[in-house]
Amino acid sequence: MTTREKNALGTMKASLTVRVCLDGQTEDIENVNHAADFLQRWPIERRGHVYRTALNACSAAIAAQISASDAMKAFAGFARVSGILVPSGEAMVLEQRTVQIRMPKQGRNMMK
């Protein structure tokens, strides 16, 4: 889901809203400040490289060193890798897929 907001120049820009679910609680992360706040509440024992990357990106966006859009993309990646990202569709149905094994073609590279 995306929302529209005015940037510092007064022009409209799209911002990414990331929906996460942690411990049964769903939360919409709508901006970089909200993402940074969520990351500060993240359990210490679950913090790792992806967490640190997302937190650094949010901090850089707050300091205007990178775009808010890039920071929110980093946060969305953190949420996906952490398994807390809620799919954007209301009801997402995944079909079961079968695995097909491809065998090499017979007759190629055979010595004559």
Q: How far apart are CA 82 and CA 90, in angstroms?
A: 20
Helix (H, G, I), strand (E, B) or coil at 68: helix
Helix (H, G, I), strand (E, B) or coil at 87: coil
pLDDT digits (tens, 9 = 90+) for 43-69: 999 999 999 999 999 999 999 999 999
The neighbouring-strand residues paired with 2 are 16
Would you place residue 105 in the very low, low, confident or very high pLDDT band (cuts 50, 70, 90)?
low
Q: Where are the domains of the chain?
A: 2-82
Length of the chain: 112
Helical H runs in the chain? 32-40, 49-62, 68-82
Would you place residue 16 in the very low, low, confident or very high pLDDT band (cuts 50, 70, 90)?
confident
Would you place residue 88 in the very low, low, confident or very high pLDDT band (cuts 50, 70, 90)?
confident
pLDDT (average), residues 98-103: 54
Would you place residue 19 in the very low, low, confident or very high pLDDT band (cuts 50, 70, 90)?
very high
**pLDDT of residue 10 exceeding 60:** no
The neighbouring-strand residues paired with 28 are 19
pLDDT (0 to 100) of residue 101: 56
Q: How far apart are CA 21 and CA 23, in angstroms?
A: 7
Residue 18: other Cβ atoms inside 10 A: 24
**pLDDT of residue 3 exceeding 70:** no
